[in-house]
Amino acid sequence: MRRLLLTLPLLCAPLLAAGQTVGADQAGEAAWLQQQTTLNTGKPAPGSLLVQSENGPTAGAQNNGSLSLNPLSGGTVSSTSLQYGITPNVSAQVGVTQRSWVTQPRIVGTQVGATYSAGRYSLGLSVAQDQVPNSTPLPRVLPGAVTGVNGLSDFDSSTQVNASGRFAFNNNSGVLLGASMGRIRLLPGNLMGLSTLDQKALSFGIDHGPITGSIIGRTMQPEPGLPSSFLTDRRWNSIDLGVTWHLPWQGSLSFGAQNLWSSGNATNTPVGPPEPDQSRTPYVQYHQDL
């Protein structure tokens, strides 16, 4: 009897080991399923982190309705974002974007926000800031040496609150809506004689399979309460139109027109300084991911 009692633990040892192995396999399977959920849905599962990095031309990054860059100025855009799943429907995002040119100062943007997704609906809110590092008010030696932001050659920085939403008709089609409100700061001593401008933007888009089209309307006006000058009571409006076709071989073709419709005068006038550049700029650009 005593020998039987001593033998029982030895007989149960394989069962205990098997039980521990099953527990480890279940934990690994849960982690794998969580990772697959993140990859398939494009949003992180609760408690997981999703890191994304993208590089492309400036014309291919015209999805930011708050600011507008010249699509023909060349350059590249590099962005990195972190998404953390809080609940099955809520995720938080942090992103950094850098726009670089060969002969022009780079623009660095940061954004912090959150997104709520429920079936066909999704809604995102964020706070963003764009600025030119080491900006200087010294006179420009070469005309056009600084990239224009919203048609402004003396852009210094901006802060804006963004809201975006999407309603999906099915797995391949949806409607995109966006709104932005913020303030643009100009370099001291600029030709317009203004320090800040209030800006608002509205965007509407449709995506169907590999094709995405959007229309963006913007308005700018001097900050209320500034001393009276030629431009304090002015307002500049513009509308951009763009279409992007994502090709099967990891390429994309973007075409459209910036300032398809605009108000204001971009030339010098006898009674005041130049206004923001709102000249119509059509563009066609191809981008290939390697």
The string of pLDDT tens digits covering residues 2-59 is 444 444 444 444 444 444 433 445 544 544 444 444 444 567 888 888 888 887 766 5
Residues 277 and 135 in one domain: yes
d(C-alpha 56, C-alpha 95), whole Å: 16
What is the predicted pLDDT for the residue at 242?
93
Residues 160 and 34 in one domain: no
What is the predicted pLDDT for the residue at 230?
58
Residues 146 and 283 in one domain: yes
- Per the DSSP assignment, residues forming a β-bridge with 284 are 255
Nearest to 197, CA basis, from 213, 209, 217, 181:
181
Residues 6 and 81 in one domain: no
- As given in the structure block, the two tokens for residue 109 are 């943007």
Range of the domain at 6: 1-41
What is the predicted pLDDT for the residue at 111?
95
What is the predicted pLDDT for the residue at 201?
95
Residues 32 and 48 in one domain: no
What is the predicted pLDDT for the residue at 136?
55
Q: Are 83 and 43 in contact (CB under 8 A)?
A: yes
Residues 65 and 13 in one domain: no
Residues 51 and 15 in one domain: no
- Angle (nearest 5°) at CA 24 between 23 and 26: 65
d(C-alpha 4, C-alpha 69), whole Å: 83
d(C-alpha 79, C-alpha 106), whole Å: 13
Residues 29 and 71 in one domain: no
Structurally, how many domains does the chain consist of?
Answer: 2
Q: Are 113 and 125 in contact (CB under 8 A)?
A: yes
What is the predicted pLDDT for the residue at 219?
94
What is the predicted pLDDT for the residue at 20?
42
| pTM passes above 0.85 | no
What is the predicted pLDDT for the residue at 227?
57
Which residue type, as a one-letter code, is found at position 109? G
Which residue type, as a one-letter code, is found at position 211? I
Residues 89 and 11 in one domain: no
Beta-carbon contacts of residue 3 (< 8 Å; ≥ 6 apart): none
pLDDT digits (tens, 9 = 90+) for 199-216: 999 999 999 999 999 999
The CATH code of the domain that includes 189 is 2.40.160.40
Residues 209 and 230 in one domain: yes
Nearest to 131, CA basis, from 98, 156, 103, 111:
156
- Per the DSSP assignment, residues forming a β-bridge with 98 are 78, 108
Residues 26 and 60 in one domain: no
Residues 8 and 139 in one domain: no
Q: Can you list the residues of the chain whose pLDDT is less than 50?
A: 1-24, 27-28, 30-40, 61-63, 138-146, 266-268
